[in-house]
């Protein structure tokens, strides 16, 4: 009996000891999405248990309306849509926009029609390396018929960067070349892009931004991953025309999504997507370089 009592006590002490472990500063759960705005919080279920890990995810859901944590998903997703809008509407082979930082954000439900986000963000014009703090409003409509997000943004300094001379030179080069332009795997498996191919990569970003803007919701977070291939087509009008196969990285699901695009570009008109087709998922596609 004495031995059995010792064994039972040892088991009980072992259980309570494991439940009472205190995590030190370097052994905390990795649930804070501020570590990387695109990371998905872990759950205890992923570690073999059933309940969710807790406070960060609950806090994020509570903050989805009202004042937002600028480093959490709701604000980051809305701000990323502003980037897609700027590149779709105002991008050029010599002017591209990236989201640098979200400073603040608020969200409110608009009756039953959708949710509106008010944001203060820093936008980076990548080629000139200029940065401006901008105000933006993003409205995600609700309803049975999916509608694209509506964006308004005030970024006058970045939008006034004059790249007309470079655009005209590139346009004339592509228009008068005896050989139509084409490229594959921009960037390549090592993340490299040849200097003379960068305008085609930038055109791919501009065209893909139309797709990402159209596809974005409050539950998605898109990045451009790769231009798998792009080919200039013959055309008789003033617009340069391109056929492209692009790869988008949906950061939440971690899917690489393939799209086929037909689009035009000119300095006067910018990019116009004439056709967009989502290609079926295929396990044999080569995975592009990481966009994290």
Question: Tens digit of pLDDT for each residue in 9-58?
Answer: 333 333 333 323 232 333 222 223 233 333 333 222 222 333 233 333 43
Q: What is the pLDDT of residue 170?
A: 98
Beta-sheet strands, E only, within 155-217: 182-186
Q: Is residue 21 part of a domain?
A: no
Q: What is the pLDDT of residue 284?
A: 47
Q: Is residue 246 part of a domain?
A: yes
Which of these three, 162, 195, 220, is where a domain ends? Answer: 162
pLDDT band at 4 (very low <50, low <70, confident <90, very high): very low
Number of domains in the chain: 2
Q: Is residue 41 part of a domain?
A: no
Q: What is the pLDDT of residue 288?
A: 57
- Residue 75 vs residues 33, 115, 157: alpha-carbon distances, Å: 12, 12, 23
Same domain, 84 and 187: no
Q: Which domain holds residue 81?
A: 53-162
The answer to whether the CB of 93 falls within 8 A of the CB of 203 is yes
Which of these three, 117, 141, 162, is where a domain ends? Answer: 162
Same domain, 190 and 155: no
Q: What is the mean pLDDT of the chain?
A: 81
Q: Is residue 96 part of a domain?
A: yes
Q: Is residue 113 part of a domain?
A: yes
What are the DSSP calls for 82-117, one per residue? HHHHHHHHH-BTTB-EEEEEEEEEEEEEETTTEEEE
Same domain, 86 and 172: no
Which of these three, 106, 128, 162, is where a domain ends? Answer: 162
At 128-141, the pLDDT tens digits run 999 999 999 999 99
Q: Is residue 1 part of a domain?
A: no
Domain of 72, CATH number, reads 3.10.450.10
d(CA 212, CA 178): 33
Among 143, 140, 148, which residue's Cα sits nearest to residue 89?
148
Q: Could you tell me which residue, 69 or 284, shows the higher pLDDT?
A: 69
Q: What is the pLDDT of residue 282?
A: 61
């Amino acid at each position: 009996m004495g031995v059995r009592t010792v064994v039972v006590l040892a088991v009980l002490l072992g259980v309570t000891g494991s439940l009472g472990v205190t995590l030190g500063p370097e052994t905390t759960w990795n649930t804070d999405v501020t570590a990387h705005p695109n990371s998905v919080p872990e759950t205890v279920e992923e570690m073999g248990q059933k309940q969710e890990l807790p406070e960060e995810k609950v806090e994020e859901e509570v903050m989805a309306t009202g004042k937002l944590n600028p480093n959490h998903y709701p604000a980051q997703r809305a701000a990323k849509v502003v980037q897609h809008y700027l590149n779709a509407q105002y991008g050029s082979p010599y002017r591209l926009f990236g989201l640098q930082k979200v400073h603040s954000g608020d969200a409110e439900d608009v009756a039953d029609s959708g949710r509106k986000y008010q944001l203060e963000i820093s936008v980076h014009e990548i080629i000139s390396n200029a940065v401006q703090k901008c105000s933006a409003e993003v409205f995600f409509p609700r309803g049975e018929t999916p509608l694209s997000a509506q964006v308004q943004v005030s970024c006058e300094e970045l939008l006034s960067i004059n790249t007309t001379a470079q655009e005209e030179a590139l346009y004339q080069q592509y228009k008068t070349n005896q050989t139509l332009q084409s490229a594959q795997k921009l960037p390549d498996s090592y993340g490299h892009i040849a200097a003379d191919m960068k305008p085609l990569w930038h055109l791919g970003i501009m065209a893909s931004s139309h797709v990402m803007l159209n596809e974005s919701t409050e539950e998605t977070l898109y990045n451009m991953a790769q231009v798998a291939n792009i080919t200039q087509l013959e055309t008789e009008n003033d617009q340069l025309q391109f056929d492209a196969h692009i790869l988008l990285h949906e950061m939440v699901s971690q899917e690489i999504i393939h799209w086929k695009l037909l689009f035009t570009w000119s300095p006067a008109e910018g990019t116009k997507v004439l056709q967009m087709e989502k290609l079926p998922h295929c396990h044999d596609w080569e995975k592009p370089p990481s966009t994290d």
